[in-house]
Chain A
C-alpha cells in the first residue's frame, strides 16, 4: 500500500481481555517497528522486525506483550490480560531496510487502545 496501515484505529477493551493490533507496512519494506506513545509522552520502542525475525525485542514491557510477523509483511502485536496502564497509542512503522543504512522510518496513524 501507499503508507503504513494499522487496525483497528481505536479499541476500547475491558481490563483482563486480550487484544490484537495489526500493522500492514509499506510494500517492499523489510524492517518493521512497534512503538508505544502514552498520552503526552514520547515514543517508546517495543520491538523491531527484519523480515520475519525479531532481532530486538528489548522494549516489550512484560511477557503479556508479544508480536509476530508473517510473510515478511503483516505484523500483529498481541497484549494479553490487558491492564489500564496499557492504554496508549500503539504506532507501527516500516523502513526499506532498516535505519542503519540511513533509511527513514514511516509511521502509521496508530491504534488508540483504551483499557477500562
Chain B
C-alpha cells in the first residue's frame, strides 16, 4: 500500500534537471509532494488530483497518470536550495482523509 519512489537518491550539479517518480499498486485519488530538509518539518510542494487539477509551487511541475497510478515531480535548473528528501503522499479515495507516504528520494545538489 505504501507508494514506491524512485530513485532512492540522486546527486546533481547545480543547474541540472531531475525527475522523481512515485508509483502505487492501487488506484489513487490524489498525490501530494513534500520536501524535507534535515532536521526540519516536511514542506508542501504540490497536490495533484484525479481529473487533472493541480495546486502548488510556481517553480516545480508534476504530472499524475491516473491509469498507471504514477506521479512524477520535475525539478528543472536545480538550485542548491532544492537539496533535501522528497516524499510523495498518496490518497486512495476521496474521503480517505489520510496520506500514505512513500519511501523518500534524497536529492543532493552540488555547486
Interface residues of A (CB under 8 A from B): 4, 31, 33, 35, 41-45, 48, 50, 55-56, 91, 98-100, 102, 104-110
Specify which chain B residues have a CB less than 8 angstroms from the CB of A100 in the assembled complex: 29, 91, 94-97
Say whether B55 contacts A106, CB under 8 Å.
no
Chain A residues within 8 Å of B95, by CB: 98, 100
Q: Tell me whether A99 and B42 are in contact (CB under 8 A).
A: no
Between A and B, 12 residue pairs with Cβ closer than 8 Å are A42-B104, A43-B42, A43-B89, A45-B99, A55-B97, A99-B97, A99-B98, A100-B29, A102-B49, A107-B43, A108-B41, A109-B41
Residues from chain B with Cβ under 8 Å of A56 in the complex: 97-98
B side interface size, CB within 8 A: 28
Highest count of chain B CB atoms <10 Å: which of A106, A107, A108, A109: A107
A99, B40: Cβ atoms closer than 8 Å: no
Whether A42 contacts B103 in the complex (CB less than 8 A), given A48-B98, A102-B53, comes out as yes
A105 to B103, CA, bound (A): 18
Q: Which residue of B lies closest to A50 (CB)?
A: B97
Task: Report the bound CA distance from A81 to B68 in whole Å.
Answer: 44
Cβ < 8 Å to A, chain B residues 1-53: 2, 29-30, 32, 34, 40-44, 47, 49, 53
Q: Are B40 and A109 in contact (CB under 8 A)?
A: yes
Known: A99-B32, A102-B55, A104-B32. A45 touches B44 (CB 8 A): no
The CA-CA distance from A44 to B2 in the complex, in Å, is 10
CA distance A45 to B87 in the complex (A): 13
